[in-house]
């Protein structure tokens, strides 16, 4: 009788992996592969990146998954190549070509058109998207040849930087708010230039304060031993580093983890003056030579009240 090898138990690891997603992979496929390579028990990503796109995809493991929504809300930065003169079904290289038109625009004309798309704009979501209508993603309707009416949504383009133009390819840097479709932005720029366009390439370079330079590819990750892979994980609070911090003593930490609201003024705890989201730590135990511990996130409210928000299940190393 052939015996199967014993199943290796999944590891309850906590942390953040900054992945450089390869072209052709869905965000979920990349997550599944990384989860398997790390032998992780629990994992999630922080927002999808189109299969044809590459670049920064932060993956969360264990307790870090509780804070992944923060990156969904964060601004994103991309470098993209817009192919002028050709429109496709999907707005990128994955769709069939719909129309080809001549391109006769100058760099000056392009720069002038780009100014129209900086700031707060309205954008109609594409049919080839994961947005749902009656419980079904729009791309399923699109694949069936059905086009639905979509309301324009407000988004913000913080930066739209001209990088290069070698006709018919226009390279841009874009920093934008959540919910922005760079595919639609490329199409709208092409329409404004009266020649049409689609995205030839898209690479995400930043999510919030996390940057592409700190990423690793799936191929490089697979070439490492398990302990080397685990050593690449950033701590859980890497997702919260843009928020002010508050340190509590052991007793206040216990009460905080029990979900109690704390009066910081009454407890004489140093805290930021600005109200809003904060990250909370238990101060280091000097006698035990321990490091401070991340407890979770909270809202600092009026009258110096600290209201627990998302809490770490068990105190882990920050």
pLDDT in tens, 146-204: 788 888 999 999 999 999 999 999 999 999 999 999 999 999 999 999 999 999 999 99
Residue 62 has pLDDT above 60, yes or no: yes
Task: Show me where the domains of the chain are located.
Answer: 15-73+210-238, 76-207, 243-317
The domain over range 15-73+210-238 is classified in CATH as 3.30.43.10: no
Residue 16 has pLDDT above 90, yes or no: yes
At 217 the three-state DSSP class reads coil
Higher pLDDT, 318 or 233: 233
Residue 66 has pLDDT above 50, yes or no: yes
Least reliable range by pLDDT among 56-60, 72-76, 173-177, 178-182: 72-76
- Superfamily of domain covering 243-317: PUA domain (2.30.130.10)
Q: What share of the chain is helix, strand, coil (3-state, %, to 5)?
A: 25, 35, 40
Task: Name the residues annotated as catalytic.
Answer: 50
Residue 9 has pLDDT above 80, yes or no: no
Pick the CATH number of 76-207 from 3.30.565.10, 3.40.47.10, 3.30.2350.10, 3.30.479.30: 3.30.2350.10
Q: Average pLDDT of 133-158?
A: 85
pLDDT at 298: 95
Which percentage of the chain shows pLDDT scores above 70? 95
How deeply is 309 buried, as exposed, middle or buried, from its count of CB atoms within 10 A (0-12, 13-18, 19+)?
Answer: middle
Do the two domains 15-73+210-238 and 76-207 of this chain adopt the same fold?
A: yes
Residue 260 has pLDDT above 70, yes or no: yes
């Amino acid at each position: 009788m052939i015996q199967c090898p014993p199943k290796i138990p999944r590891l309850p690891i906590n942390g953040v992996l900054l992945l450089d997603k390869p072209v052709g992979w869905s965000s979920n496929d990349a997550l599944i592969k990384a989860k398997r390579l790390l032998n992780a028990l629990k994992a999630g990503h922080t927002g999808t990146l189109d299969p044809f796109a590459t670049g920064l995809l932060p993956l969360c493991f264990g307790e870090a998954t509780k804070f992944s929504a923060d990156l969904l809300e964060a601004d994103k930065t991309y470098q993209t190549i817009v192919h002028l003169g050709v429109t496709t079904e999907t707005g990128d290289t994955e769709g069939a070509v719909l129309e080809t038109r001549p391109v006769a625009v100058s760099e000056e004309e392009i720069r002038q058109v780009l100014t129209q798309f900086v700031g707060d704009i309205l954008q109609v979501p594409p049919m080839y998207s994961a947005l749902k209508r009656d419980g079904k993603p729009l791309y399923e309707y699109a694949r069936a040849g059905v086009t639905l009416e979509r309301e324009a949504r407000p988004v913000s383009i913080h930066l739209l930087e001209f990088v290069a133009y070698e006709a018919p390819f226009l390279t841009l840097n874009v920093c934008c708010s959540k919910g922005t479709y760079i595919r639609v932005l490329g199409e709208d720029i092409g329409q404004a230039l009266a020649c049409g366009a689609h995205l030839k390439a898209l690479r995400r370079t930043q999510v919030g304060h996390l940057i592409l330079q700190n990423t690793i590819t799936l191929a490089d990750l697979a070439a490492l031993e398990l302990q080397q892979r685990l050593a690449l994980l950033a701590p859980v609070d890497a997702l919260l580093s843009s928020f002010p911090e508050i340190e509590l003593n052991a007793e206040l930490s216990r009460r905080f983890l029990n979900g109690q609201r704390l009066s910081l003024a009454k407890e004489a705890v140093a805290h930021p003056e600005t109200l809003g989201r904060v990250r909370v730590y238990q101060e280091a135990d000097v006698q035990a030579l321990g490091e401070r511990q991340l407890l979770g996130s909270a809202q600092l409210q009026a009258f110096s009240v600290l209201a627990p928000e998302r809490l770490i299940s068990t105190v882990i190393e920050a």
